[in-house]
Structure 1
C-alpha cells in the first residue's frame, strides 16, 4: 500500500475512533474500503499493463 493511502486510512481511523455517530462511522468505513479497493485495482491494472506490454502476441501488432 502506498504511503499516502496508509496515511489516509490512519487519519480516517482516528476520526472513526473519536465519533459515536453511526452515520459518520459508516461513511468513514466506506471511505477506508474505497481507498483499499482503489489501491488493489491500481495494482491489478499495472500488472495487466505489464503483461500486455511483454506479451509476444502483442509484439507483431
Structure 2
C-alpha cells in the first residue's frame, strides 16, 4: 500500500510540475493506468481470499 501511495503521489507531482501538453497527457494516462492496476490487485486479492476461505472446497 505504501508503494502505491508513493507511485500516485510521484505521478501527481510530475503532472503538476510539467509544462508540456504531451507530458501532462502522458502522466494523466500513467496515473489512470496505475489506479486501474491498484484496483485490479485489490480485486484479485479479495478473490483469492474468497476462494481460500470457501468451506465447500474444504475436506
User: Is TM (by shorter chain) over 0.5?
Assistant: yes
Q: 1:45-60 maps to which residues of 2 (within 5 A)?
A: 45-60=44-59
Name segments (4+ residues, structure 1) moved above 4 Å. none
> Is 1:17 aligned to 2:43, yes or no?
no
Q: Secondary structure, in 3 states, of the residue corresponding to 2:19? A: coil
- The normalised TM-score by structure 2 is 0.82
Aligned residues: 59
Write the distance in 2 (CA, Å) between the matches of 1:8 and 1:49.
24
- The normalised TM-score by structure 1 is 0.80
Write the distance in 2 (CA, Å) between the matches of 1:34 and 1:23.
16
Equivalent residue number for residue 40 of structure 1: 39
Write the distance in 1 (CA, Å) between the matches of 2:57 and 2:34.
32
